[in-house]
Amino acid sequence: MKFLIQNGGCIIGRSIEIEGIWVHTNIIPCHNRCGYCQIGKKKVEDIPFSRVAAIVDRFTEWKEERGLSDFKVWHWVGYTHDFDLSSLNQVKRLYARHGWELDLILLGGISDRREDELRSWLIERKAIGFTSVVASFMGYGSFHDRWSGRKGDFERLMSVQNAAAGLDMDLQQRIFLTESSIPYLDGLLEELDKLPGKVKVREIYPLFYSGRAVKLEKERITEDKLNGLPEHIKRLYRSDWKNWRSEKRWVETVMDEGDMPEKVSLKLILNESNISRYESMGCEEILAELEIRTRNAYSKIPSRRELCQRFGDVSNERVYMFRHDIERKWFNTHLQASSTNFERNLTHLD
């Protein structure tokens, strides 16, 4: 079963093809305040994970009963993996139900723990199948801490990785590449190389264009710099780096593409005040409501080519990783020129 919603009659607005539902809420406190945080504002909802999981399970059962194997059911509950053990088990179960193995722990924004507590925390997680820890860096020392908005964060991430390596867990390291972090790259790599254990992934990439990072355009790396860094740094660029482009090249790409219906997942955004209502509704009732609201939201968004034509800046050499990043930039400019009241958070350009 496929939903295909056409936007009839509007001068602007997009056709969308609905391919799933995304149950979305932020229930995990994060102790950082990263200057580039994709979430931006971080209101934490006081909702037990089990209630979110019950809704995700209901949608999974609904699609299974109808044989809708292509209909995707996703969930997102926060970027930090500082869950209690029982919730973490539930998260793992949901991932497995959707066909993915969750075996890594995201360390951004986790609570402070004494060394013995940290070790027990990791041992418990290893026992239920978590095999690696993921740490993200913007340089090292106080430079990193300033960006993460938390004193001692660099040392904290290093101690957790050290403890994880001591328990034979793998390390994954993500490094942000910005104008001001370039001078810190070699020093950071030296620090990371001192850690024991196996580095399963070490990758470097620029900032996303979302959340707080939309205000960091001066930090965004240019294509010349990206291509001109030494080979030992370029070797660590994430494997999709050949697809990263300057705005100038994105304009060429988007203008060459035809306009297709946007493939979107409906977003069920749960908060403390609406969750009971959604718990009392059937899946089809929820989908029908979200479909109407999502169609209304997309009816306010010009086509990607139109945004590109009107707002694409061919003099901009700064690099954006994804099509939705550069599109979000153009859409922000569009909204500055003609502010519109609509549910942007239901779209892929939120």
Q: Which is nearer to ligand SF4, 50 or 111 (CB)?
A: 111
Residue 32 sits in the site that holds ligand SF4 (CB under 6 A): yes
Shortest gap between Cβ of 299 and ligand SF4 (angstroms)? Answer: 31
DSSP summary character for residue 178: -
Choices 26-34, 175-183, 200-208, 246-254; region in contact with ligand SF4 by CB under 6 A: 26-34
> Residue 214's CB: how many other CB atoms inside 10 A?
17
Three-class DSSP category at 340: coil
Strand runs (DSSP E) across 25-138, as ranges?
A: 72-76, 104-106, 132-137
Residue 37 sits in the site that holds ligand SF4 (CB under 6 A): yes
Render 286-333 in DSSP notation, one character per residue. HHHHHHHHHHHHHTTS--HHHHHHHH--TT--BEESSHHHHHHHHHHH
Instruction: Give the Cα separation of 110 and 157 in Å (integer).
Output: 9
Give the up-direction half-sphere exposure of residue 67: CA atoms within 13 A in the CB hemisphere.
0
Instruction: Give the Cα separation of 310 and 337 in Å (integer).
Output: 11
Shortest gap between Cβ of 113 and ligand SF4 (angstroms)? Answer: 16
Shortest gap between Cβ of 284 and ligand SF4 (angstroms)? Answer: 33
Q: Which is nearer to ligand SF4, 34 or 192 (CB)?
A: 34
Residue 77 sits in the site that holds ligand SF4 (CB under 6 A): no
Residue 33 sits in the site that holds ligand SF4 (CB under 6 A): yes
Phi, psi (rounded to 5 degrees) for 75: -145, 155
Q: Which is nearer to ligand SF4, 37 or 118 (CB)?
A: 37
Q: Which is nearer to ligand SF4, 13 or 109 (CB)?
A: 109
Shortest gap between Cβ of 116 and ligand SF4 (angstroms)? Answer: 24
Choices 25-33, 213-221, 293-301, 314-322; region in contact with ligand SF4 by CB under 6 A: 25-33
Q: Which is nearer to ligand SF4, 13 or 108 (CB)?
A: 108
Asked whether 247 and 316 are in contact (CB, 8 A), the reply is: yes
Residue 109 sits in the site that holds ligand SF4 (CB under 6 A): yes
Residue 209 sits in the site that holds ligand SF4 (CB under 6 A): no
- Taking the mean position of all CA atoms in its chain, how far away is CA 345? 14
User: From residue 266, how far is each of 16, 57, 151, 297, 331 by CA, in Å?
Assistant: 10, 16, 38, 11, 20
Residue 171 sits in the site that holds ligand SF4 (CB under 6 A): no
Shortest gap between Cβ of 3 and ligand SF4 (angstroms)? Answer: 31
Shortest gap between Cβ of 109 and ligand SF4 (angstroms)? Answer: 4
Instruction: Give the Cα separation of 292 and 12 in Å (integer).
Output: 17
Residue 206 sits in the site that holds ligand SF4 (CB under 6 A): no
Strand partners of residue 172: 134, 201
Instruction: Tokens for 316, please give them.
Output: 């901009």
Residue from 39, 199, 214, 335 binding ligand SF4 (CB under 6 A) = 39
Residue 28 sits in the site that holds ligand SF4 (CB under 6 A): no
Choices 5-13, 29-37, 84-92, 244-252; region in contact with ligand SF4 by CB under 6 A: 29-37
Residue 326 sits in the site that holds ligand SF4 (CB under 6 A): no
> Residue 234's CB: how many other CB atoms inside 10 A?
13
Q: What is the β-pairing status of strands 245-246 and 262-269?
A: unpaired
Residue from 58, 87, 94, 108 binding ligand SF4 (CB under 6 A) = 108
Q: Which is nearer to ligand SF4, 134 or 297 (CB)?
A: 134
Residue 79 sits in the site that holds ligand SF4 (CB under 6 A): yes
Contacts with ligand SF4, residue ranges (CB under 6 A): 30, 32-34, 37, 39, 79-80, 108-109
